[in-house]
Structure 1
Amino acid sequence: MVNVALLSKWHVHADDYARQVKESKHLQVKLVWDENPERGKEWSKKLGVAFEEDLMKVLSNQEIGAVIVNTPTNLHKDIILQAAAHKKHIFTEKVLALTIQDCKEIFEAVEKNQVKLMVSLPRLTENYYLYAEQILEEGLLGKLTSIRCRLAHNGAVPIEGHPNGWLPEHFFNKEQCGGGALIDLGAHPIYLTNRLAGPVKAVTARFSHQFGYEVDDYAVVITEYENGALGTIETGFISNGSPFQLELYGTEGTLLIEDSKIRIKSKKLNNEWNTPEALPLALPLPIVQWEKAIVEGKESTISKSDALGLTLVNQAAKISHNQGRRVEISEIEISA
């Protein structure tokens, strides 16, 4: 059994990961640490485990084999580097870090200390994504010419008793988060389109601040891929009832995914709209893949390039918005 320390309850998915560990056959929660001791003590009591206020005591504890990082994003790099140095396996909420240079330092530390790192990018395990990947591989769309992905909710729309909406107030803290809607919810469209369309060549982005937050509450990103395709990524915290949408357009066909509704039209399928009879089986969740990597040495389907590509687009999008221009990915890679 691998003993796990939960590092912070800052992120909204922290409870989900605690539950997934509880459901695991090979992982168990042993300790809780939190940069907010009061919150951490309350959480540890709820989970029925000990709370440790000193992070270094957690990381130096020989009984702890792995950590789950749900801290503010701006703390990721320092905490993950320390965890790796103490030979702890690491599961972390997205994004891995705020810059590509920080991500590379993390991966160097992980590889040097031979620990398993998993960044939670769960939509890469979903059956609809696997179907889109399958359709591309089978050539049913021909040459991919454009891709669009939209994921948005109304978490920042003021409601009675909650002037910042139902999201935690700290999700609008620019220093802690490193951004707003794009870096959080927009992560999913970014890593999905990256994987489906391939390496990104350039990024143009615009952020909006419609409710006066210091971070973006809505964002649109245009991505240019090395294969010539164009992408449109849309995300936000101010849309009520917005469905998840993933659209792929090619020279031979079109694939439209809207929530659970999937349609494909292809010249190779009589050029009529078809609904797939069956979808591929979903892959194990990121935390399960992490567990298998630790216990069985099994390689994960979520890769280093997925994590790096996510940060690259976020970093380029921030520069693009702030400077009002198109940003070549090579600019960032050279500086890193």
Structure 2
Amino acid sequence: MINVALLSKWHVHADDYARQAIENEHLQIRVVWDENIERGIEWAKKMNVPFEQDLMKVLTNPEINAVIVDTPTNLHKEIIMLSAENKKHIFTEKVLAFTLQDCKEIYDVVEKNNVQLMVSLPRLTENYYLYAQQVLDQGMLGKLTSIRCRLAHNGAVPIEGNPNGWLPKHFFNKEECGGGALIDLGAHPIYLTNRLGGPVKAVSARLQQQFNDEVDDNSVAIIEYENGALGLIETGFLSYGGPFQLELYGTEGTLLIEDSKIRIKSRQLNEGWQTPEILPDKLPMPMEQWVNSIISEEVPAITKTDVQGLTLINQACLRSHEQGRRVETAEIMNINLPLKK
């Protein structure tokens, strides 16, 4: 049995991960810690486990094997590195850290201490993504020329009794979150298009602050891939009822995904739009992949490359917005390269 500590209920998905841990036969929640003591005590009561106010007592407890980290993102680096140094396996919410350099430092400690780190990038396990990857790999679209991915909701649209909308107020705290819509909800389009488009050469981004003065709530990024393709990532907290969309265009075909509806047109298929009859099987969810890597040393499908690539694009997009220019990823990947003015 893997004994788990829940570290913070700050993130909106914390309850989801606690539920997944309860449902996993190999995990047992043993203790709760939270930077917000009142919230932590309440959560511990709900979980029917003790609350521990001292983080180091949790991390030095030899009976605790692993931690699920849902702290504010600006605490990720410190807490994840402390967890790794104390030989705890780590599951955490995206993003891992605000900068690529911080990600590299985290992975150095994780690998030195031989613990398993999993960042939750769940859409890489979905059958629609796996089908899109299959179509690309089989050449059914020919040479990929462009990708568009959109994911948005209305979480920041003011509602009666809450001028910030239904998202927690702390999701608009720039210090804690590192940003708004792009770094949070936009993570999914970023890591999906990173996989499908391949290495990124440059980005140009606009992080709009339409309703909120502190973080972006409506954002767009143009991605230039090394293979010559272009990408468009759209996200926001101000859209009601809009579907998830993933579109791939190539010299030989087009793939359109809108929520659960999938259509493909290709020179290699019959005339007109086709709906695939069979989709690939879903992969295990991130938490299950994490557990399998701990128990049987299975190599997860979600990789360090995925995790670092997500932070790389976020970091480049923020720089592009702040400096009003196109940003090449080489500026960030090579910290010794002089930054363009």
Q: Could you say which TM-score interval applies, normalised by the shorter chain?
A: over 0.9
Write the deviation string for residues 270-294 of structure 1: whole angstroms up to 9, x where unpaired.
2410000011110000000000000
Mapped partners of 2:254, 2:55: distance in 1: 50
- Residue in 1 aligned with 2:221? 221
Percent of counterpart pairs with the same letter? 73
**1:80 to partner: Cα distance:** 0.4
Q: How does 1:272-291 map to 2 (within 5 A)?
A: 272-291=272-291
Runs of 4+ in structure 1 over 4 Å off: none
- Residue in 1 aligned with 2:183? 183
Mapped partners of 1:250, 1:105: distance in 2: 38
- Residue in 2 aligned with 1:142? 142
The number of aligned residues is 336
Write the deviation string for residues 52-103 of structure 1: whole angstroms up to 9, x where unpaired.
0000000000000000000000000000000000000000100000000000
- Residue in 2 aligned with 1:163? 163
Write the deviation string for residues 285-319 of structure 1: whole angstroms up to 9, x where unpaired.
00000000001111100000000000000000000
TM-score, length basis structure 1: 0.99
Question: Which amino acid counterpart does residue 266 of structure 1 have in structure 2?
Answer: S
Question: Which amino acid counterpart does residue 238 of structure 2 have in structure 1?
Answer: I
- Structure 2 alignment gaps of length 5 or more: 337-341
Q: Is the aligned partner of 1:54 residue 2:37?
A: no
Mapped partners of 1:199, 1:107: distance in 2: 20
TM-score, length basis structure 2: 0.98
**1:14 to partner: Cα distance:** 0.2
- SS of equivalent to 1:268: coil
Which stretch of structure 1 is more off in the superposition, 252-261 or 210-219? 210-219
**1:213 to partner: Cα distance:** 3.0
Write the deviation string for residues 173-214 of structure 1: whole angstroms up to 9, x where unpaired.
000000000000000000000001101110100011111330
- Residue in 1 aligned with 2:116? 116
**1:25 to partner: Cα distance:** 1.0
- Residue in 2 aligned with 1:18? 18
- Residue in 2 aligned with 1:316? 316
Q: Is the aligned partner of 1:35 residue 2:17?
A: no
Q: Is the aligned partner of 1:106 residue 2:106?
A: yes
**1:334 to partner: Cα distance:** 1.3
- SS of equivalent to 2:62: coil
Mapped partners of 1:28, 1:121: distance in 2: 22
Mapped partners of 1:271, 1:103: distance in 2: 47
- SS of equivalent to 1:318: helix
Mapped partners of 1:191, 1:62: distance in 2: 35
Write the deviation string for residues 10-64 of structure 1: whole angstroms up to 9, x where unpaired.
0000000000000001111101000001000000000101100000000000000
Mapped partners of 1:47, 1:212: distance in 2: 34
- Structure 1 alignment gaps of length 5 or more: none
Question: Which amino acid counterpart does residue 262 of structure 2 have in structure 1?
Answer: I
